[in-house]
Amino acid sequence: MTNRFKLRLIAAAVSAMAVPMVAAGPGLAAQQLHGVFHIGAGSYIRMGTPSGGFFSNPYSKDANKTYTTFLSGGGGGIRTDVAQNAPSPAFDSHGNSLANSIITPTNFTGIRFGVITTLQPKFLLSGHRITGYLRHLYAQWNKQTFYQGSIVHGTYRRRSHHYTLTWHTEVHGGPFDGYTGYWHLQGTFSP
Amino acid sequence: MTPVEARAPKRWPLAVLAVIGIGLILAPVAFGMFSKAPDGASMMTSFSPFMTRHRLDGFQADMRDVGNAVAQGQQAIRHPGRARGGNRLLARVAPQFASFARQWRGVDSDMGGMLVKIKANLPNYQAMAALPSFRLFPWFFVIPGAILLVLAATGLARVAAWRALRWVAVVLGIALVLAPVGAQMFSRAPKGAQMMSTFKTIETRHHLRRIQGYFSEMAVGQGLVQLELVPALRHTDLGAAQIQARYPALHTLDASWVHILNDMTPMIAAMSNNINDYQAIASLPSFRLFPWFFLLPGVLVIVIALLGDRRRGRGAAERERPGLFNPVNQGVT
C-alpha cells in the first residue's frame, strides 16, 4: 500500500464520518426547550395589508398605531408543554376573545383579540438560535378565528433568559384575507 | 301489411333517443357542474344570513351612523366651544378628521352603492334560493339521461319491447318539460342570471380589497371620534350631556361601533370566502338557458318516442321475422 493510497483511504474515511456529522450538527446540538415564554413589553403584531401598507389600530397603545402591543395572559405566555386552547365560550357577546392564557386579550379596533394554540408547540435551541414549531397558533377576534401559526425563529440568551421570536403568516379567507400578521414576541423564558 | 310489420318500429328514433340520453349525461360533465354546482350551493348558503331585508337595512343604518358622525364631527370642529385647551386639542384632530371625512365620501359612495345594488337584487336572490338546491342540478340531467339511454338500448336490443317502453320515454319527456315549469325556472332563472350579473363587479378580489380598505378607514375614523374628538370636546366648555345633545351622532357611533364590527366583518368574510364559488357558478351557462336545457330535450323525447311508433317498411320488417337470417339480430353488423 503506497503512502498516497493510505492518505486517500484516510481522507475518504474521515470525510465519510465528517459529512453526516456536519449534516447532523445542528440536530445534535439542538436542545428542546421546556418552559414558558413570558411575553413582555415590546411584543407586538402588525397587520400587513395586501397593498403593502399596515393596518392602523387606533386602540393600540403604541405611538405608531400600526403596532398593536400586548403582554402575557394568565398562563404566563406561550407554554411549551401544553396546548392553550380557547375557553368555552371563546367570546363574549361583543366578540371580545376570552382566551387569556397566552396574551391578555388586547383591543384591536374596538374588540379584544386573544391567542390560542391547539397543539403544544415545540422549540429547539441551537446556540443562541431558537427554531419554534408554532404551527397551531390562532388569533381570535370578533367571533372569528384566524390561523396565524408558523415555524418561528428567534434568539435566546441563557444568562439573561431573554428571548425574541418573530414570524409572519398570511391570512387566507375571512375579512382579513390577503393580510399578513407580522408577529414579534420578546421577554424572558422560564425553563 | 303482415302482423310482423305492424309490430316492428323504426330503429333511428331509438338511436336518436340514445344520443339525447348520452347528451343529458355528458352535459353536466362538460359544464363541470359536478364541482361547480356544490360551489354555487355553498355560496347561496353563505349569503343567506345577509340576504334579508332586515340585515341589509341594518348595513345601511350602520353606514348612516358613520356618515352622521362624520358630519357632526366636522360641525364640532368648525364650531368649537370656548375653552382654549379643548380648542387646541380640536385643532390637532382637525386635519386627521378632515382626511377621514374625505375618505368617507368615497367609502359611502362605493360601499353605499354596493348595498343599494345588493338590496335591489334581494328578490333575485330569493328567486334563486327558491330553486332546487344547486347540488341536485347535475343529477337532473344525468338521471333522465341514464333512464333514456337504458330505454333506447332496451328498445334497440328487444324491438318488441319498445311498444311499451316508448310510453315510459313519453312520460320522461313530459317530466323534462314540466320540471322547469314546476320549479318556476322560467321566472326564477332569469332573476338568478340578473343577480349573477350584478355580483360580477362585487364578487371580485379587487373589490374585496377595496372593501377591506374601507373597513380599515372606518376603524381609524371611529378611533378618531372616540379617542380624540370626543375627549377634545370634553376639554371645551361643553359638558358630557351637552356634547351628547349637540352631537348625538358621535355618541351613536361610539355606542354602535361594536355592533357595526359584529355586523360588517362577517359580511366581508362572506364576500371574501365566496369569490371562488361565485367564479365557478358564473362560468356555467347563463341561468336564463337552464329551463330550455330541460324543455328542449323533453319535447324532442316526446316527439321522437311517438314517431318511433310509426311502422317500418316491408323490407325492414322482414328482417325481424323469426327463422329468417337477420344480420342485426345475429350480431353480424
B262-301 pLDDT, tens digit per residue, is 999 999 999 999 999 999 999 999 999 999 999 999 999 9
How far does the CA of residue B133 sit from the closest CA of chain A (Å)?
A: 24
pLDDT greater at residue B128 or residue B159? B128
Which pLDDT does position A18 carry in this prediction? 43
The β-bridge partners of B313 are none
pLDDT at A141: 97
Optimal mutation site among A176, A179, A180, interface B, most CBs of chain B within 10 A: A176
- Residue B218 CA to residue A114 CA, distance in Å, equals 22
* Domain locations along chain A: 31-190
pLDDT at B207 over 70: yes
Max distance between CA atoms of chain A, in angstroms, equals 85
Cα separation, A181 vs A172, whole angstroms:
11
In this predicted structure, what is the pLDDT of residue B158?
87
- The sheet with strand A137-141 has its strands ordered as A106-108, A111-117, A137-141, A144-147
pLDDT-derived band at B8, boundaries 50, 70, 90: low
Q: Which amino acid is at B19?
A: V
Q: How far apart are CA A82 and CA A87, in angstroms?
A: 14
A:B CB pairs within 8 Å: 74
* Interfacial residues of A (vs B; Cβ cutoff 8 Å): 49-51, 55-59, 65, 94-95, 109-111, 142-144, 173-179
Q: Return the pLDDT at B12.
A: 84
Decide: B305 and B173 in contact? Cβ < 8 Å. yes
The average confidence (pLDDT) of chain B is 88
- What one-character-per-residue DSSP string does A48-90 give? E-TTSSB---TT-SSSSTT-EE--B-TT-SEESSS-----SSS
DSSP class of B253: H
Q: Which residues of chain A does B209 touch, with a Cβ-Cβ cutoff of 8 Å?
A: 50-51, 178
Of all residues in chain A, the one with the smallest CA distance to B275 is A173
Query: Does A71 have pLDDT greater than 90?
Result: yes
Per the CB < 8 Å rule, is B212 touching A179? yes
Interface test with B, best of A65, A177, A179 (most B CBs within 10 A): A177
State what percent of residues in chain B have pLDDT above 90. 74
pLDDT at B79: 76
| Residue showing cell 386627521 | B96
Q: Which of B216, B222, B262 sits opposite A55 (nearest CB)?
A: B216
The Cα A108–Cα A139 span in angstroms is 11
Which residues of chain B have a Cβ shorter than 8 Å from any chain A Cβ?
205, 208-209, 212-213, 215-216, 219-220, 222-224, 226-227, 257-258, 261-262, 265-266, 268-269, 272-273
Q: pLDDT band at residue B235, thresholds of 50, 70 and 90?
A: confident
Residue A174 has its nearest CB partner, among B219, B220, B272, at B272
Distance between CA B181 and CA B329 in Å, rounded? 42
Tell me the chain A residues in contact with residue B261 when contact means C-beta distances shorter than 8 Å: 95, 109-111, 142
pLDDT, residue B164, reads 86
Q: How many CB atoms lie within 10 A of CB A70?
A: 24
Grid coordinates representing B70 are: 362624520
Virtual torsion, Cα B241, B79, B98, B253, nearest 10 deg: 20
Q: Using CA atoms, how far apart are residues B309 and A158, in angstroms rounded to an integer?
A: 94
Test A177 with B212 for CB contact under 8 angstroms.
yes
Residue of B nearest to A56 (CA): B220
Indicate the pLDDT class of residue B179, thresholds 50, 70 and 90.
Answer: very high
C-alpha distances (whole Å) from A69 to each of A42, A51, B180, B254 are 7, 23, 59, 23
Tell me which chain A residues have a C-beta less than 8 angstroms from the C-beta of B217: none
Q: Which residues of A touch B111 (CB under 8 A)?
A: none
